[in-house]
Amino acid sequence: MYNKLVFIYDGQCPFCNQFAELLELKSNLPNIQIKNARDNPAEIPSWYDMDVYGAILIKDDEMLQGSNAINWICSHIRQPSGPLLKALSSIFSSKKRTDFFFPFLLVARRILLVFKGVPRKLSFKH
């Protein structure tokens, strides 16, 4: 069990929003906090580029980025409820599959943000 488990995502990204909502409602991960990076800039390291790495997972004092964060989460979801989360956790619980598919998700994220008129990169002033 982890004392601190925080998933930080881009609240403007539809993929990220859906995943964060599924985590919060259906993952059965105990004590996970879900935070929108755009609403919580103090939680993001100044060097971090959400456009390059995607999501962040903080577990205790360790920070996992991008595909590593998604893989860790999906590998630790036990008995996910809902067909979409079951499919996602099945696909992304494999490090090899996560590393293969994650770059495509980042590209799709960028395209969606462009269509939404959202700045490509998150820029935080600490």
The identity of residue 86, as a single letter, is: K
Instruction: State the pLDDT at residue 51.
Output: 66
Judged by average pLDDT, the poorest of 23-27, 33-37, 84-88, 121-125 is: 121-125
Name the residue ranges covered by the structural domains of the chain.
Answer: 5-116
Q: pTM here?
A: 0.84
Look at residue 123 and give its three-state secondary structure: coil
d(CA 92, CA 68): 10
Provide the terminal-to-terminal Cα distance of the chain, rounded to the nearest Å. 31
d(CA 83, CA 56): 24
Average predicted confidence (pLDDT) for the chain = 84
Instruction: State the pLDDT at residue 125.
Output: 46
Structure token pair of residue 123:
């820029």
Q: How many CB atoms lie within 10 A of CB 13?
A: 26
* pLDDT grade for 91, boundaries at 50, 70 and 90: very high
Instruction: State the pLDDT at residue 80.
Output: 78
Q: In DSSP terms, which residues pair with 9 in a beta bridge? A: 36
| pLDDT tens profile 8-32 | 988 888 888 899 998 888 888 888 8
> Which of 22, 45, 14 is CA-nearest to residue 92?
22
The b-or-e profile of 51-77 (16+ CB within 10 A means b, else e) is bebbbbbbbeeeebbbbbbbbbbbebb
5-116 placed in CATH 3.40.30:
yes
